Amino acid sequence: MRKENSEEAKINQKSFYFQEYNYNSQISSDNKGLKINEDRIYLLFFIFFCLIFIFSIKILITSLQSPFSKLTTQNFYSFKTLRNDIQDRNGETIAKNIHVYHAAIKPNLIKDKKHFTLKLKMLYPELDLDLIKKNLSKNKYFYIKKNITEEEREKLWSLGEKGLLFEKTQTRIYPHKNLFSHVIGQIDLDNMGISGIEKYFDKDLKSNNNEDIQLSLDINLQYLIREELAESALAFDAEGAASLLMDIKTGEILSLISLPDYDLNVRQEIKDSKFTNKITKGVFELGSIFKTFTIALALEKRIMSPETIIKNIPKEIQCSKFIIKEHDELPGNLSVSDILIRSSNIGTIKVAREVGENNLKQFLKDLNLLNTSSLEINEVGSPLNFNWKNKCKLETVSFGHGITTTPLQAALAYGSISNGGFIVNPTLIKDKNVNEDKKKIISNDTSKKINSILRKVVTSDYGTATLAEVDGYYVAGKTGTAKKNINGKYTNKKLTSFISVFPAQKPKYILMVLFDEPKAAPQIVYDYKGKKISGVKRNDSGWNSAYTAGKIIEKIGPILAINANDFNDNHVVKKSN
């Protein structure tokens, strides 16, 4: 018994030590492998910790940002416009494509349509809610607002409606609204140019070269001139008004305005003739501004000099069945200079008869007054044809009666006469005519003589444009007043114009101002020959077009003087306070 117990104890003891041995042996033999496993655990733990930290930061940043910030950033870098920009001469944007959205509704995804309609009413009180309710009831996809901005989109998105969808598209915007309407023109819904610069350069603007078109126009000048022109048009209760500012040497148009105008951002069909571009498309009888061409030709042909006296000028003459009269009481003897300064109709006729019909006809043709001008827009008018064989055509054409042209062509002709005799080709594109070969139409000597006479039209006590004088800018020019021909009959309604050249000693700019059917403005206090007068009931060009030109030059003169390198050569000074 004791033996059995002893053997059993040995067995148990052996088992105990075996187990203990195996355990310790295992720890000893795998100690290195266990350390490796622990390192892996620590590494994995570190990696997971880093990932959790990174994702936490990302979630935090995303929650603080707008839900559209990523989209907006992507749009900024990937946005490719369907049309290139149009800029002014200083690089300021006039027309530009931007991203917009069309907000649409899918009615079957709107859970509470009544509540949704109320929320829309709060955001956009101007919406037609009855129409929206009607469309919601039809359960058909429809638009509630087109061309909305990113900000508007976020407001609508904040309503939290699944049925509110957004279609990304592009639209053309015009930051200056009405300011360039008659030059820039419009595009249609298919992104096609349909008028103005937008149409003329349609292919260039839609090209993939990303080259913007830079115009010769200046935003600052355009704004100042339009402001003054609109104010005068209101004061004279005119049906319309227009102006043109041009570099007399390069032909670059710095400003072109026709009133009334329209907002380019409002897509609309323009049919009313009152919105016609009066400077380039309008074809008018411009009256006495043609007298300058007659006198210039007589000087160029050396038929007369500025001092030549034309004697025995009657108060009226009969030509065929027509009686031609003077507009005012004038002396019987006038020098050639005085004929232009005082704007004598019959005196001009006497000069024209000495010049001859063929010479005058050819001269007007050389000045491009009888042709169609070339310009970078399609809205360009053509002078009406007339028959030189008709009796008295030489006489009437000499002082601007019975002959039509566009204001653009008239201004260009004055530029060609005043700049030393070089033909001016107009352009709306900056630096286009820099290396242009120019045709000479009259001598430099004749040009100087004409400028001297035109200066006296403004400065002389007998001149018709004394209200255009602005201290320091040496304004020269000629007035024109013509009765409007409506349906083949002349009426008492007038078209008045004034073409100014300045500085007169070395002309740099041409400014033309035109009013359609202006009325007298007795409420205006004029500074007339050093006196303050009011109650004037005349509506001739000297009392509206010349007056307005003077106000415009006074505003834009300092800008032009700064921009023109050679302006100070004329000793131009600002008015003293």
Domain with CATH 3.40.710.10 in the chain: 221-570
Cα–Cα distance for residue pair 398/326, rounded to 1 Å: 14
Q: Which helix (H) or strand (E) holds 164?
A: strand 164-173
Domain with CATH 3.90.1310.10 in the chain: 84-175
What pLDDT does 162 receive?
85
What pLDDT does 128 receive?
84
Angle at 467 between CA 461 and CA 472, to 5 degrees: 90
How many CA within 13 A on the CB side of residue 458?
27
State how far the alpha carbon of 30 is from the alpha carbons of 25, 33, 37, 43, in Å. 9, 5, 11, 20
Q: Which two tokens stand for residue 249?
A: 């040497």
Cα–Cα distance for residue pair 370/404, rounded to 1 Å: 8
The DSSP result for 513-560, as a single string, is: EEEES----TT--EEETTEEE------SGGGTHHHHHHHHHHHHHHHH
Sign of CA dihedral 456, 458, 461, 464: positive
- List the one residue out of 68, 143, 147 whose CA is nearest residue 100: 147
What pLDDT does 41 receive?
77
Cα–Cα distance for residue pair 274/356, rounded to 1 Å: 38
Q: Which two tokens stand for residue 330?
A: 């004038």
Cα–Cα distance for residue pair 263/275, rounded to 1 Å: 12
Query: Is 497 in a helix, a strand, or coil?
Result: strand
Which CATH architecture is the domain 84-175 placed in?
Alpha-Beta Complex (3.90)
3-state secondary structure labels for all residues of 66-114: CCCHHHHHHHHHHCCCCCCCEECCCCCEEEEEEEEEEEEECHHHCCCHH
How many CA within 13 A on the CB side of residue 71?
10
Cα–Cα distance for residue pair 172/177, rounded to 1 Å: 12
Cα–Cα distance for residue pair 462/443, rounded to 1 Å: 28
Roughly how many angstroms between the first and final C-alpha of the chain, as a whole number? 142
- What is the full per-residue pLDDT of the chain (577 aa) written as tens digits? 444 445 444 444 443 333 333 434 444 444 555 455 677 777 777 787 787 878 777 777 665 554 444 444 444 444 577 899 999 999 999 999 988 889 898 888 888 888 888 888 888 888 888 888 888 888 889 888 888 888 888 888 888 888 888 988 888 999 999 999 999 999 987 889 999 999 999 999 998 787 899 999 999 999 999 999 999 999 999 999 999 999 999 999 999 999 999 999 987 777 888 999 999 999 999 999 999 999 999 999 999 999 999 999 999 998 888 899 998 899 999 999 999 999 999 999 999 999 999 999 999 999 999 999 999 999 999 999 888 888 889 999 999 999 999 999 999 999 999 999 999 999 999 999 877 888 999 999 999 999 999 999 999 999 999 999 999 999 999 999 999 988 888 999 999 999 999 999 999 999 999 999 999 999 999 999 889 999 999 999 999 999 999 999 999 999 998 776 555 554 444 443 3
What pLDDT does 565 receive?
59
Per-residue burial over 241-276, b = 16 or more CB atoms within 10 Å of its CB, e = otherwise: bbbbbbbbbbbbbbbbbbbebeebeeeeeeeeeebb
34, 122 contact by CB (below 8 A):
no
The one-letter amino acid at 36: I
What pLDDT does 47 receive?
80
List Cβ neighbours of 15 (8 Å cut-off, separation of 6 or more): none
Which CATH superfamily, name and number, covers 221-570?
A: DD-peptidase/beta-lactamase superfamily (3.40.710.10)
Q: Which helix (H) or strand (E) holds 204?
A: helix 202-205
Cα–Cα distance for residue pair 494/486, rounded to 1 Å: 11
Cis omega before residue 507 (within 30°)?
no
364, 293 contact by CB (below 8 A):
yes
Total number of residues shown for the chain: 577
What pLDDT does 124 receive?
82
